[in-house]
Amino acid sequence: MAPRDLSIHVNGVRFPNPFVIGSGPPSTNARVICRAFEAGWGGAVAKTVALTDTEVINVSPRYGKLRTAAGEVYGFENIELISDRPLEDWLQEFREIKDRFPDHVLIASIMEEAKKERWQEITERVQETGVDMFELNFSCPHGHPERQMGAAMGQVPEITREVTSWVKEVAKVPVWVKMTPNVTDVRLPAAAAQAGGADGVAAINTILSVIGVDPKTLRPLPTVEGKTTFGGYSAPAVKPIALRMVAEIRQALPDLPVSGIGGVMTAWDAIEHLLMGASTVQVCTGVMLRGHQMVSELNDGLAKFLDEQGSNSVEEIVGASLKHLTTHHELVESQAKTRALKAAARASRDNNWSAEIVKETDALTSNE
Ligand SMILES: Cc1cc2nc3c(=O)[nH]c(=O)nc-3n(C[C@H](O)[C@H](O)[C@H](O)COP(=O)(O)O)c2cc1C
């Protein structure tokens, strides 16, 4: 039997399947991105890159894990910055990747200071390499906000709108804006991105966090030279928050495609993102913990799910669960109705019959 078609079109771009490597270590150079495409990922968002004179100095250690009693990782924190490699290296590698994998979707993630000329320069230089799309990183929660980059932009809707419009002025390929979850209402920056001309949004980046404290030294983790800084939380623990934000954006802005990200380890996690309104699903920490090969399980699981549902395409299940979301007020009202119906049914049940059987027979007889 021919393998099931899992392709989906988003913003006119064909993804061979909806599974995309999220920006981070699993997309940190051409070698790993090519390995991802060989393994079967439909697309990859490369590790975020800036113009070469942007200073990026990483520290080590920069990760922390939260485990269940059985040792399974369910929460992950990082204080990693964007790519520390020069833009020129990336430009060369974007070309190589597109030469080798013309049918896989290569998305360049870019970040810069809030200066029009810098955003337009990086957009133009990167798009010459033939990348299929852009993702604007307005969402990195650590390091860059101190310099008014990353989440510092995504937390102010007006800046989100303005910077998106600068990129859209020169971009010839679709542009997604990556949302920070470190806001009260993610619908506001998503709407601002759309107003600035964004073709879609990606949600979510990591959640500001402290992964824990070392019981011996009492120093918060990950500890670098005795101290730490708030970092970005990811992995299965963040999935419920990601699903909520994907659904909120999709409900508020039904014409804006969402790329769902956060906590995907299994095929079912990814299907949940699709059901809540994502048209593609990105995975970062899952790949760091399970390897690029995990995509085989995602593809098989999605194919099986579509068969079981009798669905003809991935598109058909995008947002399929949203109709079951409502307000708490409506839950109360519909439960009151159900309770009233149950009470009425109980009142007329046969076990209400008493010893007065003749009288009760008469009461139920229409021509007495
Ligand atoms: C170590 C690490 C590095 C990351 N680097 C970037 C980055 O450079 N650019 C970006 O947009 N997101 C970055 N992210 C965020 C992820 O792409 C993703 O949005 C987030 O981790 C939630 O998804 P996950 O639970 O699948 O990891 C990084 C995440 C991790 C764990």
Query: Looking at the structure, do residues 276 and 347 belong to the same domain, yes or no?
Result: no
CA 284 to ligand 1 center in whole angstroms: 6
Give nearest CA residue, ligand 1 atom 5: 24
Q: Would the CB of 104 count as within 6 Å of ligand 1?
A: no
Residue 350 has pLDDT above 80, yes or no: no
Query: Looking at the structure, do residues 208 and 356 belong to the same domain, yes or no?
Result: no
The verdict on whether 34 is a catalytic residue reads no
CA 235 to ligand 1 center in whole angstroms: 10
The 3-state secondary structure of the chain, one letter per residue: CCCCCCCEEECCEEECCCEEECCCHHHCCHHHHHHHHHHCCCEEECCCECCCCCCCCCCCCCEEEEECCCCCEEEEEECCCCCCCCHHHHHHHHHHHHHHCCCCEEEEEECCCCCHHHHHHHHHHHHCCCCCEEEEECCCCCCHHHHCCCHHHHCCHHHHHHHHHHHHHHCCCCEEEECCCCCCCCHHHHHHHHHCCCCEEEECCCEEECCCECCCCCCECCCECCECCCEEEECHHHHHHHHHHHHHHHHHCCCCCEEEECCCCCHHHHHHHHHCCEEEEEECHHHHHHCCCHHHHHHHHHHHHHHHHCCCCHHHHCCCCHHHCCCHHHHHHHHHHHHHHHHHHHHCCHHHCCCCHHHHHHHCCCCC
Q: Would the CB of 43 count as within 6 Å of ligand 1?
A: no
CA 1 to ligand 1 center in whole angstroms: 37
Residues 82-91 have a mean pLDDT of: 97
CA 316 to ligand 1 center in whole angstroms: 28
Give nearest CA residue, ligand 1 atom 1: 78
Is 157 inside a domain boundary? yes
Query: Looking at the structure, do residues 74 and 153 belong to the same domain, yes or no?
Result: yes
Residues 89-93 have a mean pLDDT of: 98
CA 265 to ligand 1 center in whole angstroms: 14
Is 233 inside a domain boundary? yes
Is 368 inside a domain boundary? no
Give nearest CA residue, ligand 1 atom 12: 23
Is 133 inside a domain boundary? yes
- Is the whole-model pTM more than 0.85? yes
Q: Would the CB of 284 count as within 6 Å of ligand 1?
A: yes
CATH number, residue 289: 3.20.20.70
Is 1 inside a domain boundary? no
Query: Looking at the structure, do residues 250 and 345 belong to the same domain, yes or no?
Result: no
Q: Would the CB of 143 count as within 6 Å of ligand 1?
A: no
Residues 204-212 have a mean pLDDT of: 97
Mean model confidence pLDDT for the chain: 95
pLDDT bin (cut points 50, 70, 90) of residue 143 is: confident
Residue 68 has pLDDT above 70, yes or no: yes
**Euclidean distance between CA atoms 178 and 238, whole angstroms:** 16
Q: Would the CB of 263 count as within 6 Å of ligand 1?
A: yes
Mutation pick for ligand 1 pocket among 56, 135, 136, 285 (CB with most ligand atoms within 8 Å)? 285
Query: Based on the structure, what is the number of domains in the chain?
Result: 2
Query: Looking at the structure, do residues 148 and 251 belong to the same domain, yes or no?
Result: yes
Ligand 1 atom closest to the Cα of residue 263 is 25
pLDDT bin (cut points 50, 70, 90) of residue 1 is: low
Query: Looking at the structure, do residues 196 and 254 belong to the same domain, yes or no?
Result: yes
Q: Would the CB of 285 count as within 6 Å of ligand 1?
A: yes
Query: Looking at the structure, do residues 115 and 241 belong to the same domain, yes or no?
Result: yes
Query: Looking at the structure, do residues 206 and 350 belong to the same domain, yes or no?
Result: no
Is 3 inside a domain boundary? no
Ligand 1 atom closest to the Cα of residue 83 is 8
Query: Looking at the structure, do residues 224 and 346 belong to the same domain, yes or no?
Result: no
Give nearest CA residue, ligand 1 atom 31: 285
Domain that holds residue 356: 328-363
Q: Would the CB of 75 count as within 6 Å of ligand 1?
A: no
Is 139 inside a domain boundary? yes
Is 184 inside a domain boundary? yes
Q: Would the CB of 301 count as within 6 Å of ligand 1?
A: no
Looking at residue 207, what is its pLDDT?
97
**Euclidean distance between CA atoms 160 and 142, whole angstroms:** 18
Query: Looking at the structure, do residues 246 and 285 belong to the same domain, yes or no?
Result: yes
Q: Would the CB of 236 count as within 6 Å of ligand 1?
A: no
pLDDT bin (cut points 50, 70, 90) of residue 275 is: very high
Ligand 1 atom closest to the Cα of residue 286 is 26
Query: Looking at the structure, do residues 233 and 337 belong to the same domain, yes or no?
Result: no
Query: Looking at the structure, do residues 332 and 309 belong to the same domain, yes or no?
Result: no
Looking at residue 262, what is its pLDDT?
98
Q: What is the pLDDT of residues 284-315, one digit of tens each?
A: 999 999 999 999 999 999 999 999 999 999 99
